[in-house]
Amino acid sequence: MSTAGRKINFAAGPAKLPEEVLLKMQEEQLNFNGLGVSVIEMSHRSKEFGVLLNETISLVRELMNVPDNFEILFMQGGGTGQFAAIPLNLKGNHEHADYIVTGAWSSKAAEEAQKYIKVKKVFQPKKPYVTVPNQEGWVHDEKAAYLYYCANETVHGIEFTPTAPESHNVPLVADVSSNFMARPFDFKDHGVVFGGAQKNLGAAGLTIVIVRKDLIGKQQEITPAVFSYQEMIANNSLYNTPPTGGIYTTNLVLKWIKAKGGLNAIYELNLKKSGLIYGIIDNSDGFYHCAVDKKYRSIMNVCFRIGGPSGNEKLEEEFLKGAVERNMISLKGHRSVGGIRASLYNAISLEETEVLATWMREFEKLHKTN
């Protein structure tokens, strides 16, 4: 079994998986644990799958240091599904929820939530999204059901660092889809932490939802059973058929993270990778331009333009073409913002990041010379 011919995949999600994980999946595809069947053929009600499920839950708790007063759920519908599930489960007797809108995904979350709860934005969002406004100017309400934020805006490359926003005595709800286990996480003041697995933790189809126990059982009557935290907890995430293959994939990724030294080691590597690329941008005399406030630059999604703040599309197309010729794919920025986006998720190695860095230096030198 070989990984020869594989591309360096900088996709924003679904994203690269560690080669070790893919090779293990290949090895076990026809015969998982000597059972004579693949994981994706097994009954989700079987004892064997139950062992796998509980082990995966335990690994999430161990690696993220999830407190005992939180439940860990494996759900479906992606992070987008949770845009509805959050207000459906947490509204309770509250009239409204507070939302921090710092980019496309938190904006979509607020828009979806309006169907199920009154939404108040703690500040008026301004485009283009390039920063997190000073918290002193935010308008909070301690009667809110929760305060929602997106920990890392994948489209714009904006990340809450180094800490979460102040809660103002209401539960924080964090969408960590694109920086899930990219760094240690502090559950202080949080009520719900959720994310899709397809960026840092596995394959598309699995959504991990970590819920504080005291918030469970407050769901609205219209809440579909598959989105009800109470139903999912009562059934150990087996209310309906779960994404068995996705849970298996995440199990292997979690073991890979553990073998790498856990989240502290992963975070240290992620800082090196992102620092390498941001360093080239900042030392290019404006040839490369990242508009994001340095305090909130994402270590996962490095977004930049080439040829100035507004970008030169001809240069960017040339850069992308050259990247493909050098075995790198999926560096094109999101269609809504353009430019370049290098997603440096956990599975991207420092060596692969250095390939991108080398091309950036070569491209800059070529065009500055000319």
Do 43 and 126 share a domain, yes or no?
Answer: yes
- Look at residue 101 and tell me if it is in a domain: yes
C-alpha distance across the termini of the chain, in Å: 45
Q: Are 164 and 151 in contact (CB under 8 A)?
A: yes
Q: Which of 16, 91, 98, 105 is catalytic?
A: 105
- Look at residue 15 and tell me if it is in a domain: no
Instruction: Give the whole-angstrom CA distance, residue 337 versus residue 363.
Output: 22
Q: Which value, in Å, is the radius of gyration of the alpha carbons in the chain?
A: 21
Do 297 and 211 share a domain, yes or no?
Answer: no
Q: Which of 16, 24, 91, 175 is catalytic?
A: 175
Do 86 and 217 share a domain, yes or no?
Answer: yes
- Nearest CA among 42, 19, 29, 21 for reference residue 243: 42
Do 237 and 266 share a domain, yes or no?
Answer: no
- Look at residue 174 and tell me if it is in a domain: yes
Task: Clarify whether 175 is annotated catalytic.
Answer: yes
Do 320 and 193 share a domain, yes or no?
Answer: no
Do 184 and 289 share a domain, yes or no?
Answer: no
Give the predicted TM-score (pTM) of the model: 0.97
Instruction: Give the whole-angstrom CA distance, residue 174 versus residue 190.
Output: 8
Task: Clarify whether 199 is annotated catalytic.
Answer: yes
For residue 357, count other CB atoms closer than 10 A to its CB: 17
Q: What is the largest CA-CA distance in the chain?
A: 66
Do 90 and 199 share a domain, yes or no?
Answer: yes
Please list the helix, strand and coil fractions of the chain in percent, rounded to the nearest 5, in that order: 40, 15, 45
- Look at residue 5 and tell me if it is in a domain: no
Instruction: Give the whole-angstrom CA distance, residue 53 versus residue 51.
Output: 5
Indicate the residue among 215, 237, 259 that finishes a domain: 259
| Residue 333 per-residue DSSP state | P
| Residue 170 per-residue DSSP state | S
- Look at residue 61 and tell me if it is in a domain: yes
For residue 278, count other CB atoms closer than 10 A to its CB: 19
- Look at residue 7 and tell me if it is in a domain: no
- Look at residue 10 and tell me if it is in a domain: no
Task: Clarify whether 138 is annotated catalytic.
Answer: no
- Phi-psi region for residue 330, left (φ > 0), alpha (ψ -120 to 50) or beta? left
Do 66 and 104 share a domain, yes or no?
Answer: yes
Do 219 and 270 share a domain, yes or no?
Answer: no
- Nearest CA among 200, 216, 164, 195 for reference residue 77: 195
For residue 268, count other CB atoms closer than 10 A to its CB: 11
Q: What are phi and psi of 248, to 5 degrees?
A: -60, -45
Instruction: Give the whole-angstrom CA distance, residue 208 versus residue 228.
Output: 14
Do 279 and 322 share a domain, yes or no?
Answer: yes
pLDDT of residue 2: 58
In the structure, how many helices (H) and strands (E) does the chain have? 9, 14
Indicate the residue among 232, 259, 286 that finishes a domain: 259
Q: Which of 16, 24, 199, 273 is catalytic?
A: 199
Domain extent at residue 153:
22-259
The domain tally of the chain equals: 2
**Which residues, 6 or more positions from 158, have their beta carbon under 8 angstroms from its beta carbon?**
102, 103, 129, 130, 131, 132, 152, 292, 293, 296, 297, 298
- Look at residue 347 and tell me if it is in a domain: yes
Q: Are 132 and 296 in contact (CB under 8 A)?
A: yes
Do 214 and 355 share a domain, yes or no?
Answer: no
Domain holding 83: CATH number? 3.40.640.10
Domain holding 343: CATH number? 3.90.1150.10
Instruction: Give the whole-angstrom CA distance, residue 314 versus residue 26.
Output: 41
Indicate the residue among 189, 224, 259 that finishes a domain: 259
Each residue of 348-362: pLDDT tens digit? 999 999 999 999 999
pLDDT of residue 325: 98
Each residue of 40-94: pLDDT tens digit? 999 999 999 999 999 999 999 999 999 999 999 999 999 999 999 999 999 999 9
Do 201 and 283 share a domain, yes or no?
Answer: no
- Low-confidence residues in the chain, pLDDT < 50: none
